[in-house]
Structure 1
């Protein structure tokens, strides 16, 4: 009996020690932390202890079952099973911690289900951001860490002898089995985080106003497990108030009367010269306002800036998320991005939510979609087919010789393919054409050399150059007179790197142009975000089909707002600034109390609606 207690406690303590040591090591290697932050390690360890206990209890539970089995089976079987299990757990811990350490500088949150979703839909695209030597380095680091943890576990087990098969009478073995099964039941307490009403969640680790320290206290393996187990439970997430109260609050948010400094409301004056124009939506990878001189940024996206100066430019526009899969459904479907999941994970919901393409297809529109990457990545192909895009073009539709990017095909050939198809159309059927770029994504390797000393800026300049050539060639063609061109980035900006200001990070341009658009040039100062684009396009065309959470960016009678989200927070941008709510605790991180309440109501309503689709 004593030997079994020793092996159980020794393995648990060994796992717990590995997880505890990981906190300061993680802080030491992450660039966001300084040596001065190491003075906070004791607080990080203390506040992360319950989560480490919970995660290690998950891992040690199978060891308990092996201990029970040792009462009845011979020792060699027990020893082999324990070794195999501990090496497997060592590999899981190593892979999880390395992935977390690699991804955190880019994403700003601890490991969750997002990379798993990306990897299972398209492994090559999931790894496309990393150069080959980085991939080799990551695998090597995972291997070394697996060996280190595995050898540590082996040392612990060798120091504590594996119990032999019990020679006790049958009655005593039954009694011992019952005792150990009771211990298994008691393990529920550390797994759930105690005996109180609330169960373990990443919020337990939060103790500081410095979010970096809160993140350092989170166990990334538990964060992944929590995300994986809670993603599908949409109807119970983000419950802040009664459902009717949330609906009323959202309705009030969408219909807030605009307050104008002048007695007369401004008129943006935009209209269409043709009832059913050809609509072109260009989705730019990772662009931001920081790249446009007209928005106070660096002179990088000079073509986009020139297009904006002759078209319609929204100066207070915001990206709703941090990744493309969450942005696509906002831009094309008018469905706000979700902070903890992605609509593209739920294939069975695709055809239950109206989108820009389904509405236009019902009005007689043809649809076309062009992307140089893997369309199966994050279920994009399934989403496009379900929403009316009959034959989207992806990387496999281009010659092998043009697939020169880590993501597939560079933006130049993608724009060329789209333009070739546009010029080849001889009928007058109105068309919705979507072009999604990818060259301005890590690893930023492009056939261009305007900013030779800065790969990141050079990639943006290349994508901007491709956009400029496309618009100029479209303008010179007979298709321009019927064209409504909408240009918007997909998510938060990737330049400047490491931008911590939330509002600046999500500030992106929205530009409309085209021969079918009357009333340009014009600057629109109404605040907005991506889920308002589809409704605005439809309203310009006189189509009033309601999209979920749709709003009109040209309606001067209502006050605008921008919705923004990341995995660790969400918020609203209004005339009062940015108000932010923590997704982990529900606490206000910054901003106006009324806007915080409205943001909570909006996110709750998004998840309520999505759960019912």
Structure 2
């Protein structure tokens, strides 16, 4: 161990020891905030966490280590270089303290360590930076961290001087030490992964705490798109082909694809086709639990509680994912959440799908995506414009028509005003419209116009939820005065819930969202407990129109009697699930298979095999979706001009 007594290695050991202490304290604080949920077994959390801490350090300090070991002795002994190393120590302490605070804020928002969400936020730095500036006292926070880093650096001054006063090894020894650092970094990359040595399954809070935030960030950056056959359990193609057809064989469906795993089918919706307008509102981060009619006593949703009684309301409806792009993907393309990034964000491969907008555009609708923010965020502009929509976003709107905006976009009421203008314009042209909206107000920093509700702007989620409800109420009140109202279907659905973290990898109750279909002149008000998810919305809307079409949707028409077994598909960017109303199957990287029996109550976890019928169904959905995307089987094929409705023949 003589090499640890040399100046470069002692300095490196000083830096890494300080980092390890910060990592330990971060893990401890995060644990204390969720002590009850994390349960027992803290020793393994800290032991495995220590391995991840070392794994991150092994390659994070590699550039610094190589510099220290290859630095010429003449430069090393200069006073200016000594000051440089002092500054380097201080900056490294500031960086780790900053990371620790960032982890705390991220954990507070999402209930997990850094993951792919943090990677995405780094890409869209303008919105995220403005959001942080509007949500937290960033200047004060950075100043405190800087002072703390300098103070810690001074506390370590004695150890710093001792390290730099240690002898310098000869060049041969330094080169050998550099080789050792490279080997250790390489081993770290090979032996550690996002899922090992931390466990798959079990208590999700413990698994998150046992990791290292910076390590998770870089791992998510490397794995933002996961190849399904490489990382997940697969079944033989003939088994999958048979099962997926059993899952999608509605009475009015006829498969037409040549590939056995091609789900393309002709849908014959009986009845005379009709062309009501559709206003499809996707609400940011709206959990079903916020509604007063679901038991919340804070009176946050008076308008939606009334609307529930006037609508076709689905009270057993689930989001497919945990991010806005996942919700938009499911609603627009009716596809399960394949691992890694959503299709919305697969730049260069996000276009040309048989979307809801394409289907309606083919029969004369004006399909418009209307977004309260800037559409380049999450690649929304490219996705929607490449799939049959024209796009109206914040950048399309004159500033004089925006009365309030924050980091994420204009207030919901301004978005709805733009929607009314678009609807009026299409009505004047006698063109039916699909206006597919995405709101932004129910998002941190939770700010909105003053004097709208009885909760002050910027005071947290409750106010944003109540303002969201207020804006919907005002929008519908104005829409009822329009000549196009009676022939319009209004749909209100969330993109995802406000928080999906829990003790399990996929806590199914945290994916429940509301779905309202409101058209008092067209659809009778009632409530249904049918199990359904966002991928079922598009085929249900096309069914309401009695429209025949060629489908690549994985969803089903919820208003049609069929013998298909119930299911919803849910996931995050790694774990993929299928819930049948009682039990939950989970697919994980490295061919992990689990099931949670009585998932909404006791949620008893056990390992499972691929021949378990529930697991077979789950594998089938995700394997087929990934195969269809890769083989370009989900693309839009415009109907031949003059092709009659099947129902009219």
Which bin holds the TM-score, normalised by the shorter protein? Answer: 0.7 to 0.9
**1:46 Cα shift?**
1.2
CA distance in 2, matches of 1:327, 1:316: 16
Give the direction of change, closer, same or farther, for the CA distance of 1:274–1:513 in structure 2 (3 Å limit): farther
Q: Report what 2:61 is aligned to.
A: 60
Q: Report what 1:422 is aligned to.
A: 423
CA distance in 2, matches of 1:219, 1:539: 48
Residue 326 of structure 2 contacts residue 337 of structure 2 at CA under 8 Å; is this kept in 1? yes
> Matched residue of 1:329: which SS?
helix
**1:187 Cα shift?**
1.6
- Does residue 521 (structure 1) correspond to residue 525 (structure 2)? The answer is yes
Which of 532, 554, 557 is matched with 1:552 structurally? 557
CA distance in 2, matches of 1:338, 1:89: 38
- Please list the CA deviations of residues 351-371 of structure 1 after superposition, one character each: whole Å capped at 9, or x if unmatched: 143321123223332122333
- Please list the CA deviations of residues 42-90 of structure 1 after superposition, one character each: whole Å capped at 9, or x if unmatched: 4322112221121111023223422442368742497677566655544
* Farther off after superposition, 481-490 or 149-158: 149-158
Residue 64 of structure 1 contacts residue 180 of structure 1 at CA under 8 Å; is this kept in 2? no
* Farther off after superposition, 569-578 or 141-150: 141-150
- State the TM-score, normalizing by the size of structure 1: 0.83
Unaligned runs of 5+ in 1: 259-269
- Does residue 464 (structure 1) correspond to residue 464 (structure 2)? The answer is no
Residue 496 of structure 2 contacts residue 511 of structure 2 at CA under 8 Å; is this kept in 1? yes
CA distance in 1, matches of 2:223, 2:597: 28
Q: Report what 2:99 is aligned to.
A: 96
> Matched residue of 2:493: which SS?
strand
> Matched residue of 2:349: which SS?
helix
- Please list the CA deviations of residues 261-301 of structure 1 after superposition, one character each: whole Å capped at 9, or x if unmatched: xxxxxxxxx99875222221111122222233555555532
CA distance in 1, matches of 2:303, 2:631: 43
1:409-488 matches, within 5 Å, as 409-425=410-426, 426-446=428-448, 447-448=450-451, 450-452=453-455, 456-488=461-493
Q: Report what 1:288 is aligned to.
A: 287
> Matched residue of 1:443: which SS?
coil
Q: Report what 2:203 is aligned to.
A: 210
CA distance in 2, matches of 1:102, 1:477: 44
1:60-459 matches, within 5 Å, as 60-70=61-71, 74-75=75-76, 76=78, 86=89, 89-125=92-128, 127-128=130-131, 131-140=134-143, 142-144=145-147, 146-147=149-150, 156-161=159-164, 173=171, 175-176=172-173, 179-180=176-177, 182-188=179-185, 190-192=187-189, 194=191, 199-206=192-199, 209-235=202-228, 238-242=231-235, 244=237, 247-248=240-241, 251=244, 254-255=247-248, 275-298=274-297, 299-338=299-338, 340-394=340-394, 397-399=397-399, 402-425=403-426, 426-446=428-448, 447-448=450-451, 450-452=453-455, 456-459=461-464
Give the direction of change, closer, same or farther, for the CA distance of 1:13–1:532 in structure 2 (3 Å limit): farther
CA distance in 1, matches of 2:279, 2:619: 34
Q: Report what 2:535 is aligned to.
A: 531
> Matched residue of 1:96: which SS?
helix
> Matched residue of 2:409: which SS?
coil
CA distance in 1, matches of 2:181, 2:84: 18
Runs of 4+ in 1 over 6 A off after TM superposition: 35-39, 162-166, 270-273, 497-501
CA distance in 2, matches of 1:139, 1:274: 61
- State the TM-score, normalizing by the size of structure 2: 0.79
Unaligned runs of 5+ in 2: 252-268, 599-607, 633-649
**1:243 Cα shift?**
5.9
CA distance in 2, matches of 1:206, 1:345: 29
> Matched residue of 2:61: which SS?
helix
Residue 291 of structure 2 contacts residue 304 of structure 2 at CA under 8 Å; is this kept in 1? yes
CA distance in 2, matches of 1:314, 1:207: 33
CA distance in 2, matches of 1:366, 1:200: 47
Residue 20 of structure 1 contacts residue 45 of structure 1 at CA under 8 Å; is this kept in 2? no
- Counting matched residue pairs gives 590
Residue 279 of structure 1 contacts residue 433 of structure 1 at CA under 8 Å; is this kept in 2? yes
Residue 371 of structure 1 contacts residue 435 of structure 1 at CA under 8 Å; is this kept in 2? yes
- Please list the CA deviations of residues 519-554 of structure 1 after superposition, one character each: whole Å capped at 9, or x if unmatched: x12333321111221222233332332235333323
Give the direction of change, closer, same or farther, for the CA distance of 1:583–1:16 in structure 2 (3 Å limit): farther
Give the direction of change, closer, same or farther, for the CA distance of 1:181–1:511 in structure 2 (3 Å limit): same
Give the direction of change, closer, same or farther, for the CA distance of 1:456–1:66 in structure 2 (3 Å limit): closer
Give the direction of change, closer, same or farther, for the CA distance of 1:98–1:598 in structure 2 (3 Å limit): farther
CA distance in 2, matches of 1:585, 1:101: 31
CA distance in 2, matches of 1:324, 1:52: 31
Residue 532 of structure 1 contacts residue 550 of structure 1 at CA under 8 Å; is this kept in 2? yes
Residue 371 of structure 2 contacts residue 437 of structure 2 at CA under 8 Å; is this kept in 1? yes
* Farther off after superposition, 55-64 or 214-223: 55-64
Which of 570, 573, 577 is matched with 1:564 structurally? 570
Residue 228 of structure 2 contacts residue 339 of structure 2 at CA under 8 Å; is this kept in 1? no
- Does residue 602 (structure 1) correspond to residue 626 (structure 2)? The answer is no
CA distance in 1, matches of 2:310, 2:36: 50
Residue 278 of structure 2 contacts residue 488 of structure 2 at CA under 8 Å; is this kept in 1? yes
**1:332 Cα shift?**
1.8
Residue 287 of structure 1 contacts residue 493 of structure 1 at CA under 8 Å; is this kept in 2? yes
Cα RMSD (Å) of the superposition? 3.9
CA distance in 1, matches of 2:59, 2:190: 11
- Please list the CA deviations of residues 289-316 of structure 1 after superposition, one character each: whole Å capped at 9, or x if unmatched: 2233555555532323333323311121
